[in-house]
Amino acid sequence: MSIEFIESHRCFSGALHFCRHQSEATGTPMRFSAYVPDGEGPFPVVTFLSGLTCTEENFTVKAGAYRRASALNLVVIAPDTSPRGEGVANDPAYDLGQGAGFYVDATEAPWAPHFRMESYIAKDLQQVVAENFPVDMKRQGITGHSMGGHGALTLALKYPDLFRSVSAFAPIVSPTRCPWGEKAFNAYLGADRETWKAHDATLLIEAGAAKGHYETILVDQGGADNFLEAQLKPELLEEACAKVGQKLVLRMHPGHDHSYYFIQTFIDDHLAFHAATLLAA
């Protein structure tokens, strides 16, 4: 799969690249950033999925991840959150359309032709990273924030053959039971709520999706997050994990909000968490 390097920067002991490629899944050009440490590799990979309104730049510029990634010899991939461009459906609201792909494959008009972010992350992004960077795709972790935390959890649970470790920052743990998720799923997947269940981390865990795959799931959540009670509901994830005996480390942090100040405070912990699994013999 061909790739265009838009710009590259020396960063700690490695290089940061902004990239663009044509996606078969979305039918559009897609952008992502890739941090690659010095050396021949192959290196383990951690993918970060961003939240509502974000592009590949938000995490790349704001998270402060690359000093630790360099020290741990991790490749870090940060894709855009949706297809974009002329002819791609959109909505005036911030929580639907471009910038709000929700990491699902849409089945409803006008979203279905391009909004196929699940297939993009699980297939196209896998291929373009494997073909263009010194990576070991058998040693992958996935994490994300908010909508991207939802994506990290659900894609890890649905594709355990791809991902060996999973964590999240302030994830939407049960989109079938919050306004953001209900709005997006109704638009992208239709009114039949049965079809939504395959994209809800709590329901997937209750159905046994994590069994035998992930020793521990790490989640950090800010106690001063404006979206905590109405949208994020980490207690539902805690309940689901307790029901099936899945180990969950849920860390609540008083005073922290939903911003990238929260993410940059704990990103080193998440990278170390993934490295502990991905670098293990």
Characterize the bridge pairing of strands 75-79 and 43-49.
parallel
For residues 260 and 241, give the distance between their C-alpha atoms in angstroms, rounded to a whole number: 27
Secondary structure letter of residue 91 according to DSSP: -
Provide the pLDDT for residue 242.
97
- Has residue 138 got a pLDDT over 70? yes
Concatenated DSSP letters for 184-221? HHHHHH-S-GGGGGGG-HHHHHHTTTTTTT-SEEEEEE
Sign of torsion, CA 149 155 160 164?
negative
- The model's confidence at residue 52, banded by pLDDT at 50, 70 and 90, is very high
Whole-model pTM over 0.75 = yes
Residue carrying the six token digits 């890890």: 156
> Does 258 qualify as catalytic in the annotation?
yes
- The model's confidence at residue 211, banded by pLDDT at 50, 70 and 90, is confident
Q: What's the domain count of the chain?
A: 1
Summarize the confidence of residues 122-128 as an average pLDDT: 98
- The model's confidence at residue 137, banded by pLDDT at 50, 70 and 90, is very high
Sign of torsion, CA 2 17 163 27?
negative
Report the CATH number that the domain containing residue 251 is assigned in CATH.
3.40.50.1820
For residues 13 and 36, give the distance between their C-alpha atoms in angstroms, rounded to a whole number: 9
Catalytic residue among 21, 256, 258, 270: 258
- The per-residue pLDDT for range 196-208, each reduced to its tens digit, is 999 999 999 999 9
For residues 225 and 78, give the distance between their C-alpha atoms in angstroms, rounded to a whole number: 23
| Percentage with pLDDT > 70 across the chain | 100
Catalytic residue among 146, 165, 167, 174: 146
- Has residue 212 got a pLDDT over 90? no
Beta-bridge partners for 253: 222
- The per-residue pLDDT for range 150-207, each reduced to its tens digit, is 999 999 999 999 999 999 999 999 999 999 999 999 999 999 999 999 999 999 999 9
Q: What is the average pLDDT value for the chain, to the nearest integer? A: 97
Query: In angstroms, what CA-CA distances link 273 with 103, 166, 262?
Result: 23, 9, 17
Provide the pLDDT for residue 281.
54
- The per-residue pLDDT for range 63-106, each reduced to its tens digit, is 999 999 999 999 999 999 999 999 999 999 999 999 999 999 99
Give the residue numbers spanning the domain of 220.
4-278
Catalytic residue among 80, 150, 225, 270: 225
